[in-house]
Chains A and B, each alone.
Chain A
Amino acid sequence: MSDNQQFFRDTAERILADRLEQKHIVAAESRVLPGELFATLAENGIFLMLVPEEQGGIGASVAEALAILKPAGSAAAPGPLLETMLGNGLLAQAGVAPVEGTIALAFVGADELAGAVTLHDVGWGGLADHVLVVADDAGRARLTLSAGADWLATPGEGAAGEPSDRLSAPSLPGASAVLDAAGSYADALRRAALLRAGQQLGAIEWSFTRSIDYTGERSQFGKPIAKFQVIQQMLAELAGHVLAASTLLDAAAVGLSETLVAAAISRVGDAADSAIAICHQVHGAIGYSKEYALNYRTRRLMAWRADFGGVEYWRGALARGFITATREQFWPAVSDAGLQGAA
């Protein structure tokens, strides 16, 4: 980890420790944003991470943004943290100044925006200060920034209990700008999904560590359950998922290659599935109780895997990059995928 990444990680961990309590995580399920946490994140410039320095931001890389989002996932931090961070970054790309307050993000096809508009499953959509619609306009990202108040929100919630709302308006409100670069829509979606994978990894690592500790604390048949070989084997299996997912995610964050980002999202998705199954299994009934902290991570894993394309979309995208290769072309394609150290 670079010094910068370490610094951002330490900063995030400090803020989360100071400003996020279990009661805030619980309150998010009653549609209450952890206000103090978000105010402190804003004061520390976290929402300007992806805004270039020339535009008044921090100019951080995606790898550095991940250094913030992993501990946020580990802490089960609720709220549109990723969305606000990336939203400001996208606005900066369009030459628009960053906004005050929170941003909800909606990725849609351009054809969904004609006439009366309905956006589905928008995280914190009804509560965010701003809504940034990112539309796929023949491959380019068309950004439309509106106020949250411009929309009629029908509350809903996802697996984590966080708001996931339907927003509607008689016609698309707000002001638009198009990101000129070809492929800018896919690029934005890719970054969103990669950052979400970072949050997932944080939640996976927290669940893994807690499970190791728990199996030392809990005794049955006169010994800590960690001493049962079956428990050891399950957690050893999960250790493999954690190492593989974190290593590939780190590699993907360096070059942001299309192939590696899709692969990392897919790999983290498998690690998440394994973490949910294994961590709950080794916890027994206590892990299934709402009061115990594990479910606040595992339910986020359930919710997050579907965001920004969803794990299956990225698997298909990854396969499409290879599917036309001949048997002889396949290995060079794997070898050139942008892995770190692969000279």
Chain B
Amino acid sequence: MTAIAVDKLTKRYGTHLAIHDVSFTVPRGSITGFLGPNGAGKTTTLRILAGSLGKTSGTVTVAGFDVETSSLEARARIGYLPEQAPLYPEMRVVEYLTFRAELKGVARRDRRAWVDEAMEKAVVGGVRDAMIGKLSKGYRQRVGLADALVARPEIVLLDEPTAGLDPNQIHEVRALLRGLGGAHTVLLSTHVLSEVEASCDRVVVLARGELVAEGSLEVLHAAAGSFVVVLRGEPEAARTVASAVADVTRVEASSVDEGTTRLVVHLAASASIDPVVAALVSAGMGVREVSPVRTSLEEAFRALTLTDKGDETGASS
């Protein structure tokens, strides 16, 4: 059951290649985190999914509808929160949400109940009669969130839903997101990795416009594996041997006691530790122990999205 299918998606802004040949799927009912450094192409991809931006090539299917050829059907099944959560400042919160519900085709008899439900979920009931232009950034963000949910869409696309919220609000939004799984399919972009750990069951990671990882959080942890290797030998020599192996991104060496060395070997995405062990053994260093290190999501993210050349992001050239 696939809710969102992106196949060989490419997007150019003029000559600048923002998305290059990206393919991924989002299973129905899942909460998928959409990660990547600044300029990776998350917003661009979400806008294409939401139907507000045309693609250069590839196919994008949302809830079974092609976003370009069956645009209306696809949009009718999507709730989208854009990055800046743009709203009409001259409207009151409840007026705005009622307008949005009508615009999205919510039947007249359901409108009031659905608007109330969305306000409750996004915790904006307290400001229902406030003028949107007078709300704080956090509240505006939440009104945008209520808007994304108001028509009970199958698919919810959120571009940095917790940006600008205070810690209490972030906590509430996370609880809300967890509650959305199952009934809704959620794809949310974020820079807060603890949020992904707290509310997502899958991740899609972009860097410089290309897909670098897709799958469960476990896959992500394993994808950027680090191992502790304990061996007989000198730290410097062991480090040199290990570093020379392909796919090894970084090696830290320390001396445990006389003649014993502890290496922490960081590997590139989904590489195996076996060649490192083989290289050490053939260099005459007896390997005594190999154990995986469960990397933090931050480390996994860095390992996946930083190239060996060390360039930080895919910001436009």
- Binding partners A and B: no
